[in-house]
């Protein structure tokens, strides 16, 4: 692997199969072809209008208040704590890694409109037991909350590890230590190694910046133990590639929600069946469900992704103890397998 020196203790490592096939003159792209015609702008607009008036049949979901002392004193060497949507606090040894921190009441650029949080936030930033590293998958509002970045920077001053060209957004929100990575690059920090890897998605914060900032998934290594964070993604060959690159993945955090209608969402969001296939492709030991049950982002009922996952586990006769489909605020120890 080649390396680029950032400071005496941080180097960006480049994997042997690094390439820039996802780079273009106008930003970034997904290198995988769609099996079906890509929806056009009018299709997307028509769906958004109909979605706004669609009658919902959601069942109520609930969160569990998260006890910071329980997190800090968890008996397992490694543990995962679901805060909601794609926000997860990993405790790895004595270090804390926070994934896609969103603590806002709405996943939106404005506080008075947009998808609202449908379950209570189980813990506030100020009550977290610690944050050493923040990992960001991409810049959508349900994954990048700039107010949360500012609060995290002010209280913990963590290292922020982000995909290419997301650094300015983080720094403008108050982050002081930011590392930007391209797909198939990595950096070692705080006793862990963070590998930036492909994902099938897109990016934008406004109307004119589509795909100017990279999106990614990440693999985190800690003393031989591996966690894969899929971020936000459609299904593609990258899951098999990552499984080959990193055999023996211990935990895969995979999205299961925001998948209907498939003609619109398939390119960028897996459904439960594809999430299960991604888990198989990765060859991972344990599954942790993310990207569901928090914000209403698509047509399926808020509770449906979990129900479909449970049905799949039964249908495929999988070991239920390896699947973690939690309520927001719940935790799981990761040293059992």
Per the structure, the complete domain to which residue 291 belongs is given by 65-333
What is the pLDDT at residue 8? 52
> Is 322 among the domain residues?
yes
What is the pLDDT at residue 31? 95
Q: Which of 95, 183, 82, 185 lies closest to 134 in space, CA to CA?
A: 95
- Counting the structural domains of the chain, the total is 1
282: three-class secondary structure by DSSP: helix
Q: Using CA atoms, how far apart are residues 277 and 161, in angstroms rounded to an integer?
A: 28
The CATH number of whichever domain residue 302 belongs to comes to 3.60.15.10
> Is 13 among the domain residues?
no
Q: Using CA atoms, how far apart are residues 237 and 114, in angstroms rounded to an integer?
A: 32
Compute mean pLDDT per 10 residues along the chain, 337 residues long, and list them: 61 96 96 74 76 84 97 96 98 97 97 95 98 98 98 97 98 96 97 98 95 98 98 98 98 98 95 98 98 97 98 97 98 85
The H or E element containing residue 195 is: strand 192-197
Provide the whole-model pTM: 0.95
What is the pLDDT at residue 40? 75
> Is 55 among the domain residues?
no
> Is 58 among the domain residues?
no
> Is 115 among the domain residues?
yes
pLDDT, tens only, 104-139: 999 999 999 999 999 999 999 999 999 999 999 999
Mean model confidence pLDDT for the chain: 94
> Is 16 among the domain residues?
no
> Is 37 among the domain residues?
no
């Amino acid at each position: 692997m080649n390396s680029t020196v950032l400071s005496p203790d941080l180097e960006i490592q480049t994997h042997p199969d690094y390439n820039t096939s996802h780079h273009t003159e106008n930003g970034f792209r997904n290198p995988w072809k769609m099996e079906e015609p890509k929806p056009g702008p009018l299709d997307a607009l028509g769906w958004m209008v109909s979605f706004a008036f669609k009658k919902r049949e959601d069942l109520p979901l609930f969160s569990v208040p998260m006890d910071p002392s329980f997190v800090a004193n968890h008996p397992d060497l490694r543990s995962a704590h679901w805060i909601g949507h794609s926000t997860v606090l990993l405790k790895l040894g004595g270090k804390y890694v926070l994934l896609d921190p969103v603590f806002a009441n709405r996943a939106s650029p404005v506080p008075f409109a947009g998808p609202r949080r449908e379950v209570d936030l189980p813990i506030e930033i100020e009550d977290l037991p610690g944050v050493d590293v923040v990992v960001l998958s991409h810049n959508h509002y349900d994954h990048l909350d700039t107010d949360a970045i500012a609060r995290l920077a002010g209280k913990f001053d963590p290292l922020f590890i982000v995909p290419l060209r997301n650094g300015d957004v983080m720094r403008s929100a108050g982050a002081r230590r930011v590392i930007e990575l391209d797909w198939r690059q990595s950096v070692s920090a705080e006793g862990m190694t963070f590998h930036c890897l492909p994902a099938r998605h897109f990016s934008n914060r406004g109307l004119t910046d589509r795909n100017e900032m990279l999106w990614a998934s990440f693999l985190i290594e800690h003393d031989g133990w591996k966690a894969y964070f899929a971020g936000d993604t459609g299904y593609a060959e990258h899951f098999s590639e990552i499984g080959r690159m990193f055999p023996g993945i211990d935990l895969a955090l995979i999205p299961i929600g925001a998948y209907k209608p498939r003609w619109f969402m398939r390119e960028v969001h897996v459904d439960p069946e594809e999430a299960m296939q991604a888990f198989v492709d990765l060859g991972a030991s344990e599954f942790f469900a993310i990207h569901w049950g928090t914000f209403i982002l698509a047509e399926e009922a808020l509770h449906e992704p979990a129900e479909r996952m449970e049905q799949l586990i039964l249908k495929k006769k999988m070991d239920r103890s390896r699947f973690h489909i939690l309520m927001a605020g719940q935790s799981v120890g990761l040293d059992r397998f």
